Amino acid sequence: MTLLELQKLYRRHHLIEAVIEPSVELEGWVVEFRHYQGGFVSLTDATGLEQRYNDVDSASEQAMKVGFHQVRIADNF
């Protein structure tokens, strides 16, 4: 989902947690959000491609733009 779509879900209280984790496919970090009905939704671009960031700080900034004040970092390394 795009940043704007995620912001709408956040304002409706449909997102309950922001999680940053290592990308499975390439180096970097991805941002996912836990939905209140279960499961996760990823931050993507307009074409649906999952966004990757070079560092945790850049990924955290995106989660903050959605509206979260706290972000969980899942380090799977």
What is residue 13's predicted lDDT score, i.e. its pLDDT? 97
What is residue 43's predicted lDDT score, i.e. its pLDDT? 97
Residue in 42, 52, 30 with CA at minimum distance from that of residue 2: 42
What is residue 34's predicted lDDT score, i.e. its pLDDT? 97
pLDDT in tens, 6-59: 999 999 999 999 999 998 888 899 999 999 999 999 999 999 999 999 999 999
Report the predicted TM-score, pTM, of the whole model to 2 decimal places.
0.90
CA dist., res. 31 & res. 23, Å (int): 9
